[in-house]
Each structure stands twice: as structure tokens, then as C-alpha cells.
Amino acid sequence: MKKTIFYFLLFTTFLLEAANSAVKLEGGFKVGPAIIMIGMLVIFVVVGILNSAKDTSDYYAAGRSISRVGSGMAIASNWMSAASFLGMAALMYGSGYHGLAFVVGWTGGYVLLLILMAGQIRKYGKYTAPDFIGDRYYSTGLRIAAAIVTIIISLAYCVGQFGGIGLMFKWVMGMNFFWSTVIGSCVVLAYTMISGMLGVTKNMIIQYIIIIISFLIPLFILLFKFDYFWLLPPIGYGAAVSDVVNGIPAPAVSDMVNVIGHDFAILPSPEYAMPWDASTGQTFFQWMAIVFSLMLGTAGLPHVIQRFYIVPRARDARWSVVWGLFFICLLYWCSPIFSVFGKILSSNPEIGTLAPDAIVIYTAQLGNINPLIVGFLAAGAVSAAFSTVAGLLVAGSSAFSHDLYFKVFRPDSTPKQQMMMARIATVLMGVIVTVMSMMELALIAQLVALAFSFAAVTIFPLFLLGIWWSGSNKQGAIAGLTTGIIVTIVALTYFIAGKYGVALPAQEFISFWLGPWYFAWIGAPLAIFMNIIVSLMTEETPLEIRKFLVEKVHS
Amino acid sequence: MEEQKDYRMSFFKPTTEFSRINRNLVIVLILIWGICVFGFQILLRIMEKPTPEKTLITFEKVWDNVKSGNASSDEKVQFADCILSVLGKSTLAAKPEKRAVLNNALSWAVYDLMSGDSLRSNFIGEISAFEKQRAELTDLKDPAYVNAKAEIIQKTAPLLGLEEYSLKARLIPLELRSAGMEVLQTENKDKLHGIMSLYLTHNQSVLTDTVFLGFPFHYFYTAVFLLILFVALCWIYSFMIDRVHKRLGNFDKTKTANS
């Protein structure tokens, strides 16, 4: 007993000592947060090993044995990436009300996903999104195209996540971006390869719990500390938003200061909360287009759709969306709190310019929250990025091994060979993402939004029409997919040209109306329109597919 | 019946009782969803008016005289106060070129309000030394730095009619620039009014000015209410579909059908 108390005291002293090293805003190795993060990573790998995939059904769809609440947590964890954990607060911190477009877009899309797709997708009974597309549109070419699209979406999405992992490792370990990204990718790859979807899903449940607890604790503390209603943070921070709009004079709160000693005060800043404020450089059209694109993208993301295959029944698929959205909203309701406190606590110009993508961490630090809690928060951010990356790698590698290797190139391959190919694909994707993320192309949330727009113009129309209209045929699907890809290429070409100062014809016009984060506002309706027109002009969908839709999917 | 045999189906032409009920439910929920998400933002857009902050009105009152060099001391004090209001906005942090214009305007106003050439020239030296000290600073709590900052506040705050502990007074040492302090440069004069208008005009309406549970109403609606609505819509749909299946005697056997 004495020995236990001694070791406990020794460990506590060590942690408190370690905590002091986390006070710096930037750089330096932070012992306490590092221990928390390493411990968390070890747990992920162990859970992955304990739940390793035994066959292809385990690998692709977790043996179809996950409960509704568990699947809801996995949906939430899979969904809540670095973009949700770090990126949303960053956008609201930088551009105020405009950032709320991401909150609304990333949650509202679940309504579409549920009422238009979830149950029907599960009833269709395929393993992956390309599997559905190849089967529904009776086309190997479309299966290959959908698999490639899935891999590209997974890659684009993963790059944003690795940016988040890099930032957090840099903050905790004091490492440079290169090494933090390399280490992060090795850990994710290790357990994704070992466990596949089953281990990933079990990990996701644990990760959700870590994400939500680590995110909420600092918020309760901040609200309590700065005298706001703290019992219900999503409501309690309302007064803080109004305070930013109207200003907080220094003398009235002279006993409250940030970690540097600046008063908890701010000059009136209505631009933080007022809609599409000119000083943020964002417009009403962009707000609406982002919301619309993100919503359609949500309903078209392969790694999200794939989650409906892991529940036993269609009913479970529906309820897992309800649970998933609720769990997601727990974080999204609270995300603006970091941005509003970040605004106030960093309002003194002495703080300098903070990296927006790390504002969640900086806010907790500036609020003088215990460094170990800040470390736990950083671990939560890494957890958010890891859970999403793992889901994306499974979706991407499944597209490669199941939809390309097994269904197209080697139909006679054994399950063992397929598993091997899935693991090789995971490693390949991991390497590509690591290299791409080192280029630091854009803000985390922006990179993710790009993946959403791409999914909205390619996958979403194929699923929507494939489920809801038996008349949509192979030729229509090819036309729709081609339209979506053309719109994407145009939008990206103009974006990249603009970035490197090259002026293409109508550069300003196209760059504004086909922004890379929201080109789906026009691309998705165009793809749907083309699909319908070409389908009407060509041969009808085969009878057995129409029969399957009526008797199995919509019964 | 013919359609049933041909197995042609679409969202608008359901082939079974379940898909007809499902379609009606989907239409109702999508309408609620669309109106609540996009309808409200359109309403917000229709109702909003570009509304200037009081500071902008004050600035516009004194700007012509400041620009032409005929401003009285009181007008210069008001001018400097307006500039500080914008410099205190953190959205400006990412716009160094705009900040530079405002820094020049503030520095000139403070310099011009000082009486006596020797005082002015000493002041430039003092600010220059402080800038150097700040550039080399490693700890914001360094006593030498803190004292130098306090001295500048003591000298400048009374000139601008500010209390030393006020937020604006504390901004002054951080925003003064010694280079070009003697004049409000012509190119900055041309840009200043645009910058002030940009940062001090906001889209406001009764929806943004009404406070609900502490929030500006539109902010509460978008950040809190819409998310509650989304969860509620999903819950209602799942609940209703379960009831429909029960009523129609459908048994969900997805797992056995596909595994």
C-alpha cells in the first residue's frame, strides 16, 4: 500500500512538473501532453490488434455486427476529423459567421443522407460505394471509375487530416512538420492494416469518447472561469458572442486575465457575428454555396456511406444515423465556443498572429487551463484526425482491393490474397498522403471541403438516381459522372492558376462562381440533369435491376 | 398495375404502399429542412442593411478636416480614437497592409498632438527604441519591456483623453511606428476612408440585433437551433418509418438477405 502511494505521489509530481513545460504557446517538447498522446496511440494499436480482422467480411464491413449506438459513435468519430475538431473553430475565428456555413453544411447533409439513402443503401447490401455503382449500373467501367473517384476523395480528405496531425505533433513534441507527419502516418497505418474495419470501428468508439471528453472539459472550465453560464456550454456561450459584438471594457473585469496577463476584454467587434461581413471577404452567395455543397458531399462521401454496411439491418442503418448525428452535434454545438474565447483572449496585438488551425489549443492555453488538460485536448485532436484517416484508408483500400483487384482484375483471388492487396493499398495510400500533406496546400477545413465538393458532383448523383429512379441507366451514369469530373477539373484548374498568378480567360468570374470549396452548387445539379437526359435517350435499365430495386430496396 | 409488372419506379411514382408513404414523408421533411436552412438565410439577406458603427459616424465627421490639415486638437483626438477602435479588431491581424495604413494614421495623430519640437523628436526616439526592444523580445513579462510600455502609455493616453488602464490606451505603444510618424502619408490618406468603412460597417437587422438566450438571434438560429432541428428531423423520420413498417407488417430481414 505504502509502495502504491509512493509511486502515485511520484507520478503526480512528475506530471505536475511535466505540465509546466506546456505553458509555451509554440515549440518545445511538452512532457505531460506527450505522455498523454503516446499513451493514447498505444491504446489504439492494442485495440486494433485485439480486434483484428479474420476475413474479408470483417475487413470491409466489421462482420456486420456493430450495434446502432456503437455504429453512431463510429459514424461520429469517423466524421469528426481534424477539420471538425480544429478546422471549424479556425474558420469561425478567422471569418466569423461565414464559418457557421461549415457547421450547418456538415450536419444538415445527414438529413439528406438518412431520408434519401441510408436504409436503401443497406438494403442494397453491397460492401463499398463502387460496388453499389458497378452493380446498379451493370458496368465494370463505372465500377473502376467509382473506385478511382473513391481513392481520390479519400486521398484529398486524408491530406487535410495529416495537416492536423502534423500541427498537433509539432505542438506537443516540438518536432518539425515532416517528422510529426511521418510518425503519425506510421501509427495509423499500423493499426489500419492489422485490424481493418472491425478494429477501426472498435477504435472509433473509443476515439469518439476521447474526442468528446477532451473537447468539452476545457469549455466548461473556460465558461466557468470567465463567469458565463457553464452548466450548458452550447447555450452559455451566447453571452460571450454578444460581448464580442458589443465589446468588454477592461476595468469591469480587471480580475480576469489570460495566461500572459492581458485583461479578458475586447473592443466592439460586430464583424465576428454579423452575417457575411465585408471585412471577412466572404459573401452571401459563398455562404449558401458552401452549405449546399457540403450537404450534398456529406451524402456522397464513400467512407460515410460505407458505414451503413456495418450494421445488421436497414433499420439499424437509419437509427445509427440519428445517433451519429446527435454525437456529431455534441461537438458542433460547442465548436464556436473556442473561436469566441479565442477572439477575446487573443485580442491584444501582443499575442501576434496565431495559426488559425491551432486556435482550439491556443485558446485553452491562453485561458490558462491546466496544461495537462490542454495536452488531453491535443490528444483529442490527434484522435479525431486518426479516426477519420483510418476510415478513409479502409474505404480507399477497399475500393482498390475489392472493387478493382477482386471484382475486375482477379475474380478468382482468394480472400487471403484480397486481404493482402487491401493492406498493400493502405500502405500505398499512406505514403502518398504523407508526401502530399507535406506540401501544406491549404487550411485543413478547406482541403476537406474540396473532397466534399468532389463527392457531391460524382458519387452523390449516382447514388441518388440509382436508388430513386429505375430509369437511370449505365449511359446516363457515365454522362453524369463525366459532367461532374469536368466541372471539378475546371474549378481546380482555375484555382491552381489563380494561386500561381496565371490569368486564364474569365479568371475572376470562374474563380468566384466555381470556388474549389463549393463548385458542387452547380456541378451536382448539372451531373443529375445530364444523367437524366442521357438515360431517357438510351436503352432502358435491365429488368432484373429494376425488379431488385422495387422488391428489395423499396419494399 | 402495368408499372408494377415492368418494375419501373421513381421517387414520384412509387410502386408499393411503403414507398408511397416514404415519399410523402421525405417531401415534408425536405421542405421543412430546405425552408429552415436556406429560407432563413435568404430572409436575413433581404432584411439586412449596411449599418455603420458609431465610430464610423464620428470618423466621417472629422475626416475632411483631418485630410485637409485643418483639424482642431479635439478633432485629432477623435480621429485617433476612431483609428484605435479599428486597430483593436483582431480580424485585422491577418491584413498587415491595412494595419500599416492605420499605424501611420495613429502615429501621426499622436505626434501632431504633442507640443514642442524637442518633445516630438524625443518621442520618435523613444518609440524607435521600443520597437527595437519589441522585435528582440523573448518574454512578454520582461520588466524592462513592461516599464517602457507603461511609460509610453503614461505619455500618450492623456493626450488622447484615455484612461491609462483602458483597452485603447494599452494598444497605443503596440501600434505606434516611428518611421514616417511626422506625416500622414498621401497614399495612406487615400486608403484610410475605405479601410474604416470596411471594418466599421456591418449587415444588421432586427434578426441580428435581437438578443435571444444571450445570443444575437440569427447566430443562435444558425449555430444552435438548426443543429437541433437536424437531429429532430432524423429522429422523426426513423420513428415514423419504424411505425410504417410495423403497420404494414414488414419484417426487416436485411442481414439474412445479404450476408
Q: What is the pLDDT of residues B94-149, one digit of tens each?
A: 678 899 999 999 999 999 998 877 888 888 999 999 999 988 887 888 889 999 99
Segment 42-71 of chain A within 8 Å of chain B by CB: 57, 64
To the nearest whole Å, the CA of A292 is away from the closest chain B CA by: 9
To the nearest 5 percent, what fractions of chain A are helix, strand and coil? 80, 0, 20
d(CA B196, CA B60): 9
d(CA A308, CA A346): 42
d(CA A378, CA A214): 8
Are the C-beta atoms of residues B29 and B237 closer than 8 Å to each other? yes
More confident position, A127 or B59: B59
The residue type of A22 is A
pLDDT tens for the 555 residues of chain A, in order? 555 555 544 444 444 444 444 444 555 678 888 888 888 877 877 776 776 655 555 555 555 556 677 778 888 887 888 778 888 898 899 889 999 999 999 999 999 988 998 878 888 877 678 888 999 999 999 999 998 998 888 888 888 787 777 778 778 877 777 787 787 778 777 767 765 555 566 677 788 888 899 999 999 999 999 989 999 999 999 999 999 999 988 765 556 888 888 888 899 999 999 999 998 889 999 999 999 999 999 988 887 777 776 666 778 878 888 999 999 999 999 999 999 999 999 888 888 777 777 889 999 989 989 888 988 898 888 888 877 887 788 778 877 888 888 888 888 888 888 878 888 888 888 888 888 777 766 666 677 888 899 999 999 999 999 999 999 999 999 999 999 999 999 998 998 888 788 889 999 999 999 998 899 999 999 999 999 999 999 999 999 999 888 888 887
Region A26-439: CATH code = 1.20.1730.10
What b/e readout covers B172-210, taking b as 16+ CB neighbours within 10 angstroms? bbbbbbbeebeebbeebbebbeebbbbbbbbbbbebbee
pLDDT of residue A273: 94
Q: pLDDT band for B201, please (50, 70, 90 cuts).
A: very high
Other Cβ atoms closer than 10 A to A251: 11
Interface test with A, best of B152, B254, B259 (most A CBs within 10 A): B254
Closest residue to A94, CB basis, from B94, B168, B204: B94
> Quick one: closest CA in B to A108, which residue?
B230
* Three cell numbers, residue A90: 479556425
Closest residue to B53, CB basis, from A266, A268, A555: A268
- Residues of A within 8 A of B170 (CB-CB) are 250, 348
> Quick one: closest CA in A to B134, which residue?
A350
Cα atoms in the Cβ-side hemisphere of radius 13 Å centred on B178: 14
In whole angstroms, how far apart are CA A454 and each of A297, A448, A451, B101? 7, 10, 5, 41
pLDDT of residue A18: 42
Are the C-beta atoms of residues A302 and A133 closer than 8 Å to each other? no
- Residues of A within 8 A of B228 (CB-CB) are 329
What b/e readout covers A111-138, taking b as 16+ CB neighbours within 10 angstroms? bbbbbbbbbbbbbbbbbbbbbbbbbbbe
Rounded to the nearest 10°, the torsion over CA A332, A335, A340, A341 is: 150
Are the C-beta atoms of residues A85 and A211 closer than 8 Å to each other? yes
- Residues of B within 8 A of A532 (CB-CB) are none
Contact (CB<8Å) A241/B255: no
Contact (CB<8Å) A315/B252: yes
In a 3-state reduction of DSSP, which class is residue B216? strand
- Residues of A within 8 A of B49 (CB-CB) are none
**Hey, where are the domains in chain B?**
2-48+206-258, 50-203
Residue with cell 482642431: B72
In a 3-state reduction of DSSP, which class is residue A175? coil
Q: Classify residue B71 by its DSSP letter.
A: -
Segment 223-262 of chain A within 8 Å of chain B by CB: 229, 234-242, 245, 249-251, 254, 260-261
pLDDT of residue A8: 47
Are the C-beta atoms of residues B55 and B200 closer than 8 Å to each other? yes
> Quick one: closest CA in B to A287, which residue?
B41
Q: pLDDT band for B93, please (50, 70, 90 cuts).
A: low
pLDDT of residue A527: 97
Q: Classify residue A469 by its DSSP letter.
A: B
Closest residue to B90, CB basis, from A254, A343, A469: A343
> Quick one: closest CA in B to A229, which residue?
B214
To the nearest whole Å, the CA of B121 is away from the closest chain A CA by: 25
Give B18-23's long-range contacts (Cβ < 8 A, gap of 24+): B18/A554, B18/A555, B18/B244, B18/B245, B18/B248, B18/B250, B19/A554, B19/A555, B21/B244, B22/A554, B22/B241, B22/B244
- Residues of B within 8 A of A72 (CB-CB) are none
- Residues of A within 8 A of B241 (CB-CB) are 119, 315, 318
Put simply, whether the predicted model's pTM sits higher than 0.80 gets the answer yes
Contact (CB<8Å) A275/B208: yes
Interface test with A, best of B167, B198, B199, B243 (most A CBs within 10 A): B167
Q: Is A24 near chain B, with CB under 8 Å? A: no
* Three cell numbers, residue A440: 501544406
d(CA B224, CA A211): 20
Are the C-beta atoms of residues A383 and A172 closer than 8 Å to each other? no
Contact (CB<8Å) B41/A329: no
* Three cell numbers, residue A177: 512538420
Q: Classify residue B212 by its DSSP letter.
A: E
Are the C-beta atoms of residues A151 and A429 closer than 8 Å to each other? yes
Closest residue to A319, CB basis, from B41, B227, B238: B238
Closest residue to A329, CB basis, from B15, B170, B227: B227
Q: What are phi and psi of A87, to 5 degrees?
A: -70, -40
> Quick one: closest CA in B to A336, which residue?
B223
To the nearest whole Å, the CA of A26 is away from the closest chain B CA by: 12
How much is the CA Rg of chain B, to the nearest whole Å? 31
In a 3-state reduction of DSSP, which class is residue B146? helix
Q: Is A169 near chain B, with CB under 8 Å? A: no
The residue type of B254 is T
Closest residue to B235, CB basis, from A271, A322, A346: A322
- Residues of B within 8 A of A277 (CB-CB) are 202-203
Q: Is A539 near chain B, with CB under 8 Å? A: no
* First and final C-alpha spacing in chain A: 64
> Quick one: closest CA in A to B138, which residue?
A24
pLDDT of residue A69: 78
pLDDT of residue A257: 82
Interface test with A, best of B238, B240, B253 (most A CBs within 10 A): B238
Question: What tens digit of pLDDT does each residue of B170-193 get?
Answer: 899 999 999 888 889 899 999 999
d(CA A192, CA A196): 5
Q: Which of A371, A265, A372 is nearest to A36 (CA)?
A: A372
Residue with cell 456511406: A305
Contacts of A381 (CB under 8 A, 6+ apart): A82, A85, A86, A164, A167, A168, A214, A360, A361
Contacts of B243 (CB under 8 A, 6+ apart): none
Residue with cell 440509382: A466
Rounded to the nearest 10°, the torsion over CA B127, B131, B136, B137 is: 80
Segment 343-402 of chain A within 8 Å of chain B by CB: 343, 346-350, 352-353
Contact (CB<8Å) A318/B241: yes
Closest residue to A250, CB basis, from B22, B165, B199: B165
Quote ipTM for the complex: 0.88
d(CA B114, CA B107): 11
Closest residue to A274, CB basis, from B15, B84, B208: B208
More confident position, A214 or B16: A214
Q: Is A280 near chain B, with CB under 8 Å? A: yes
What b/e readout covers A491-528, taking b as 16+ CB neighbours within 10 angstroms? bbebbeebeeeeeeeeeeebbebbbbbbbbbbbbebbb
The alpha helices in chain B, defined as continuous H runs, are 2-6, 17-34, 40-47, 54-68, 73-87, 96-113, 117-135, 143-156, 167-175, 186-200, 206-209, 217-220, 226-248, 254-258
Are the C-beta atoms of residues B201 and B193 closer than 8 Å to each other? no
Closest residue to A550, CB basis, from B9, B233, B257: B9
Contact (CB<8Å) A245/B216: yes
Contact (CB<8Å) A273/B208: yes
pLDDT of residue A21: 42
pLDDT of residue A19: 41
- Residues of A within 8 A of B44 (CB-CB) are 275
d(CA A325, CA A109): 10
- Residues of A within 8 A of B10 (CB-CB) are 468-471
Other Cβ atoms closer than 10 A to B134: 15
Contact (CB<8Å) A116/B216: no
To the nearest whole Å, the CA of B116 is away from the closest chain A CA by: 30
Closest residue to A314, CB basis, from B175, B216, B254: B254
Q: Which of B9, B7, B12, B8 is nearest to B26 (CA)?
A: B12
Are the C-beta atoms of residues B10 and A471 closer than 8 Å to each other? yes
